[in-house]
Amino acid sequence: MCRQMRTILRWGLPLLAVLAALAWGAGTLVQHTTRQWFQRDVSLRARLAVDGAREALAAHVRSGDRRRLGVALGAIARDDRILAAAICGDGMRTLVRTGTVPSGFNCEELASRLPAAMDEGGVELVEHAEGGLVHALVMPISDEAGPVGRALVIHDLSFATRREEALRRLTIGAFAVVALLASVLTVVVRRESWRTWTEELRRLLPLPGGGGTVSARPRKLFRPLLSDLRNLVAELATEQSAASAGKWSAERLHHTLTDVLRGERVVILANREPYVHERTSEGGVRVVHPASGLVTALEPVMRACGGVWVAHGSGSADRDVVDRGDRVRVPPGEESYSIRRVWLTEEEERGYYYGFSNEGLWPLSHMAHTRPVFRAQDFRQYERVNRRFAEAVCDEVEGPDPIVLVQDYHYALVPRMIRERLPRATILTFWHIPWANAERFGICPWANELLEGMLGSSIVGFHTQLHCNNFVEAVDRYLEARIDRERQSVVLQGREALVRAYPISIEWPNHWAMEAPPVPDCRRRVFAELGLAPDALLGVGVDRLDYTKGIEERLLAVERLLERFPHLKGRFTFAQLAAPSRTLIPEYRGLNERVEALAKRVNERFAAGTWRPIALLRAHHEPPAIFRYLRAADVCYVSSLHDGMNLVAKEFVAARDDERGTLVLSRFTGAARELTEALLVNPYDLEEASSALAAALAMPAAEQAERMRAMRAFVQDLNVYRWAGRMLVDAARLRQRDRLSSRLGPGLRAVGETEGELKRLPPGA
């Protein structure tokens, strides 16, 4: 049945029923009233006629003059509507009559129905006879000597019935017309108001897949409703997707890609490659997993999604294993995706990687008190290399609207470069390190170029909302762009980029943790490697040798711990696994030397027999070794001075399926916002840090388990598949919206633009 018909039935029928009942009631009332009017009229006429002739009638009855009595009765019955009249004498015997008395109304027939004594007013009867309704009036006739008989006047009331019927039909007809008009009017008004409501809501709510636009200000009537509705829709969508899809896993991420994004291939761009091929001293080739949080997070995502990872080919044997397109299938033995290697000259690497990225942007973004160095020639290399990587990405994509994941501060200019070549691409840019506040960011001589480059993205992601806010503030301060704070987006030159927080994580279940030997075996092996007594206590730190990781502060905290808690001397050892990193940069070489000297000094200060408090393992370690140390530890100390997230903290949690061990974590990491059951410290505050280390070493097993369980549950839920999945789902929504709006035409494409919010900055701002 069509929708209109259903609407009519739903709204029109009840209305019709109510109006019909009203019509029936009104008709009955009209009928009743008119009958009473007619009856009263007829009764009055009959009484007047009898009263006028009463004396004459009495005299003729008394005298027995039937002729004269007949004449007098004839005068009474002259009215057309009088059917018959009669005079009844003693014992209700008919003395005279005119006309035809309907059966049942003769004097004799009425005798039994009338009272013996009758007052002056007489008796009235209204009944159906053969010809229709009749009105009979029986009135006493008397003279001074007393009653002499009764006069009977019978009126035809059938005309009243006919008029009543006509009137009733008229009333019902009038009601029917009114009912019909009211029904039609109700349906029309309802449809019209519904249409207005839905149009307004569509205009206001950018519903997922609805292609809605948020261009206009809501009408006053709708404003209070709008935020409630948006919240409700968002809540329902989140609940529905969480309930229907369950926890995030590699499989779910894969399905998201095939179902939501219809199997689109993902192209990742990251400076570091997930597998580095290195030449060994024996002339063979070995595969190395680089020490990089970005790789740790993204490699499982790539294994789940497939596609291409575009990266700098940095391994000494990288060129030997690629095909003619500079590609190699990985992971070795599983081959689920490809690495496309881009070769850089030494000069390019020096300017782009060591120079602008790591002497400029890295210290700019981290509050670790290292001065950024900005050189014009470095930025020129950065620009050049960004262009080369953008071209490599464009070579790898299939079709005009690919999904590209641009990773980190090495490629701030790439999103815009890809956008110029592929206007319909979905570009998700993720910045893995903190984003400095606007004032600090402004010291970069190419602040505007970096922001404009990033805003070529469809989505710009950071670990925390604070870094999103810093980015938006920088845009606000340095660019002429429009900011929509409600949608958390920036529109630059008609293109919208969403700015969102996606806290990164690690794979769960974690394959390195699952493949690791049982905890007692790990402990035995690590203790043997370090030459520790079986009852020793072990602390572990795992980092790239980077000044942002607070390794010096960590070793100083160990020194302070031993000063304050002498019973730990000879018993507690801190193993620092430190992968040399960016060693071409003087600042890093200096750090290397300082850390080594510090470890030496502390060890010399506390050395007792073969025991040393610090084991500095300055080397790259493959993941099995790292997980072995994490599983062997009593305490893991992450002391970053500033860190976007820090995945070592999460790896420690993943490694501890025995629910033992305590995490001491710097407040200045993104992870500290999530792993709140860790002992959170300020790494600069050596008193606080050493107290936390002592508390961790003395913590009862039950408390360790309680804290560890809570953190494991958190990382299990908020794993890296969820991180990638949320970004890809958001990307899918954007793609759908863009496809729909491109069908609507250019006039409706500029999403979210309201004139009033356009920021106009003074020249040179």
Looking at beta carbons, which residue is closest to ligand ADQ? Answer: 293
Contact call for residues 394 and 422 (beta carbons, < 8 A): yes
Q: Fill in the DSSP letter of residue 608.
A: B
The reply to whether 666 sits near ligand ADQ by the rule CB under 6 A is no
Question: Helix (H, G, I), strand (E, B), or coil: what is residue 305?
Answer: helix
- Least separation in angstroms between residue 545's CB and ligand ADQ is 8
Q: Pick the closest to residue 493 from 452, 533, 446, 460 (CA basis).
A: 452
- Least separation in angstroms between residue 580's CB and ligand ADQ is 8
- Least separation in angstroms between residue 646's CB and ligand ADQ is 5
Q: Which is nearer to ligand ADQ, 61 or 433 (CB)?
A: 433
Q: Pick the closest to residue 376 from 437, 312, 456, 444 (CA basis).
A: 444
Q: Which is nearer to ligand ADQ, 542 or 718 (CB)?
A: 542
User: How many CB atoms neighbour CB 96 within 10 A?
Assistant: 21
Per DSSP, helices labelled H in 77-204 are: 107-111, 158-204
Q: Which is nearer to ligand ADQ, 448 or 716 (CB)?
A: 716
535-574 residues near ligand ADQ, rule: CB under 6 A: 542-544
696-755 residues near ligand ADQ, rule: CB under 6 A: none
Q: Which is nearer to ligand ADQ, 581 or 662 (CB)?
A: 581
Strands 537-544 and 572-579: parallel
Q: Pick the closest to residue 538 from 701, 706, 696, 709 (CA basis).
A: 696
Q: Which is nearer to ligand ADQ, 290 or 453 (CB)?
A: 290
Contact call for residues 463 and 644 (beta carbons, < 8 A): yes
Q: Give residue 65's identity as a one-letter amino acid code.
A: D
- Least separation in angstroms between residue 642's CB and ligand ADQ is 9
Q: The tokens of 70 are what? A: 């007949």
- Least separation in angstroms between residue 224's CB and ligand ADQ is 41
Q: Which is nearer to ligand ADQ, 568 or 654 (CB)?
A: 654
- Least separation in angstroms between residue 311's CB and ligand ADQ is 15
- Alpha-carbon distance of 411 to 269, in angstroms, equals 8
273-292 residues near ligand ADQ, rule: CB under 6 A: 291-292
Q: Which of 393, 459, 578, 731 binds ligand ADQ (CB under 6 A)?
A: 578
Q: Which is nearer to ligand ADQ, 378 or 543 (CB)?
A: 543
- Least separation in angstroms between residue 665's CB and ligand ADQ is 12
Q: What Rg value do the Cα atoms of the chain yield, rounded? A: 50
Mark residues 222-261: x for contact with ligand ADQ by CB under 6 A, - for none: ----------------------------------------
- Least separation in angstroms between residue 430's CB and ligand ADQ is 8
Residue 362 exposed, middle or buried by CB count within 10 Å (0-12, 13-18, 19+): buried
Q: Which is nearer to ligand ADQ, 330 or 433 (CB)?
A: 433
402-461 residues near ligand ADQ, rule: CB under 6 A: 432-433
- Least separation in angstroms between residue 650's CB and ligand ADQ is 8
- Least separation in angstroms between residue 259's CB and ligand ADQ is 27
- Terminal Cα distance for the chain, rounded: 63
HEC sequence for 175-208: HHHHHHHHHHHHHHHHHHHHHHHHHHHHHHCCCC
The reply to whether 293 sits near ligand ADQ by the rule CB under 6 A is yes
Q: Which is nearer to ligand ADQ, 475 or 626 (CB)?
A: 626
Residue 279, strand partner residues: 285
Q: Pick the closest to residue 643 from 544, 715, 512, 499 (CA basis).
A: 544
Q: Pick the closest to residue 82 from 138, 137, 156 (CA basis).
A: 156
- Least separation in angstroms between residue 332's CB and ligand ADQ is 18
282 CB-near residues (< 8 Å, 6+ apart): none
- Least separation in angstroms between residue 595's CB and ligand ADQ is 13
257 CB-near residues (< 8 Å, 6+ apart): 263, 264, 266, 304, 305, 728
Q: Which is nearer to ligand ADQ, 106 or 646 (CB)?
A: 646
Q: The tokens of 761 are what? A: 């900055």
- Alpha-carbon distance of 550 to 643, in angstroms, equals 10
Contact call for residues 135 and 66 (beta carbons, < 8 A): no
Q: Pick the closest to residue 296 from 649, 710, 678, 672 (CA basis).
A: 649
- Least separation in angstroms between residue 415's CB and ligand ADQ is 18
Q: Report the Cα 421 to chain-centroid distance in Å.
A: 33
Question: Helix (H, G, I), strand (E, B), or coil: what is residue 546?
Answer: coil
Per DSSP, helices labelled H in 77-157 are: 107-111
Contact call for residues 672 and 639 (beta carbons, < 8 A): no
- Least separation in angstroms between residue 615's CB and ligand ADQ is 13
Count of residues in contact with ligand ADQ, rule CB under 6 A: 25
Q: Which is nearer to ligand ADQ, 573 or 741 (CB)?
A: 573
Q: Which of 107, 427, 483, 579 binds ligand ADQ (CB under 6 A)?
A: 579
Q: Which is nearer to ligand ADQ, 297 or 727 (CB)?
A: 297
- Alpha-carbon distance of 698 to 678, in angstroms, equals 14
Mark residues 479-508: x for contact with ligand ADQ by CB under 6 A, - for none: -------------------------x----
Residue 291, strand partner residues: none
Q: Report the Cα 80 to chain-centroid distance in Å.
A: 85
Q: Which is nearer to ligand ADQ, 261 or 433 (CB)?
A: 433
Residue 608, strand partner residues: 611
Peptide bond into 509 cis (omega under 30): yes
Q: Which is nearer to ligand ADQ, 76 or 579 (CB)?
A: 579
598-657 residues near ligand ADQ, rule: CB under 6 A: 620-621, 626, 643-648, 651
- Least separation in angstroms between residue 522's CB and ligand ADQ is 15
- Alpha-carbon distance of 488 to 501, in angstroms, equals 10
- Alpha-carbon distance of 39 to 663, in angstroms, equals 104
- Least separation in angstroms between residue 638's CB and ligand ADQ is 8
- Least separation in angstroms between residue 672's CB and ligand ADQ is 11
- Least separation in angstroms between residue 320's CB and ligand ADQ is 23
Q: Which of 249, 256, 296, 358 binds ligand ADQ (CB under 6 A)?
A: 296
Q: Which is nearer to ligand ADQ, 626 or 653 (CB)?
A: 626
Q: Which is nearer to ligand ADQ, 205 or 672 (CB)?
A: 672
Q: Which is nearer to ligand ADQ, 292 or 662 (CB)?
A: 292
User: How many CB atoms neighbour CB 605 within 10 A?
Assistant: 11
Q: Which is nearer to ligand ADQ, 57 or 615 (CB)?
A: 615
Q: The tokens of 423 are what? A: 């206007």
Residue owning tokens 């009474």: 76
- Alpha-carbon distance of 279 to 286, in angstroms, equals 6
Binding site for ligand ADQ (CB under 6 A): 291-294, 296-297, 432-433, 504, 542-544, 577-579, 620-621, 626, 643-648, 651
